[in-house]
Amino acid sequence: MNNFVKHDSIVRTIWGRADTILFIFGGAAAEFALNKAVDWLYYTGRLPNDPIGRLFSTVTYARNIVFASREKAHAVIDHMRDIHSTLESNRGYRIPDWAYRDVLFMLIHYSIASFELLYRPLTAVEKEEIFDTFNRVGNRMGLENLPHTYDEWLPLYQQHLEQDLEVSDFTADLFAQYRKHLGALRFHLLREAQTLVTPKKVKSLLNLPDSSWVSPFIPLYKASRRVKLDWWIISALLPANYKERIKALNTPSR
């Protein structure tokens, strides 16, 4: 089968493990709330009404691309573009290209940061694979001015952090919704997870500390995988209605 992502790619490893996806989810939740284009996600009302489900759907779209044939992945990407085109038509103007790029850039950064936090440092070749996967998504969507390599992406991502993020009323509301839907304890853990994977600029804007009290427990979590306790730890931290959906994210890939 002509896969969109090679069967033995590190991208499939990252997106086939529930723990890395949860940290990708947590980091993206922080940047989503700060993005200057977050008002687009408020337009339909779906984001504030179900922020966890809305972010989960973004993760699902990404996985449907990563684990699909080239043909099916292109169909998913085209469907995503069609959905956004309808939204643009209803609102009367276009979502700026930079807003789409920001989402792709988040997926690249948090894929790398989450895997390196929970598993091991990635090689330069592996980082290039991650970049290439999501860059091809952007090319299929017709986005312009995308970088060509991981090294070209790095300063552009930093530029995005400096230019495209701000604290707004949407930020405050979205974090209030996270707290409402997760509960106080899980919301606090979300903030700690965000501290572990977000860039300094995001930490600064959200008043996150430079380090997390969770950090010393990461080696213990890694050790728990050897005795098959990792899922028990993850499931203990999840809302009941999401446990099965998160468990289903574990996809053997290597």
Contact 91, 43 (CB under 8 A): yes
Residue 228 structure tokens: 């098959």
- Per-residue pLDDT at 124 exceeds 90: yes
Q: To the nearest whole number, what is the mean pLDDT of the chain? A: 87
User: What type of residue is 126?
Assistant: E
pLDDT per residue over 66-113, tens digit each?
999 999 999 999 998 888 888 778 777 788 888 889 999 999 999 999
Contact 118, 222 (CB under 8 A): yes
**Computed from CA positions of residues 11, 223, 179, 162, in that sequence, does the dihedral angle turn out positive or negative?**
negative
> What distance in Å separates the CA atoms of residue 91 and residue 118, rounded to the nearest whole number?
41
pLDDT per residue over 206-240, tens digit each?
999 999 988 988 888 888 877 666 666 666 666 66
Question: What pTM does this model have?
Answer: 0.90
> What distance in Å separates the CA atoms of residue 211 and residue 131, rounded to the nearest whole number?
27
User: What type of residue is 108?
Assistant: I
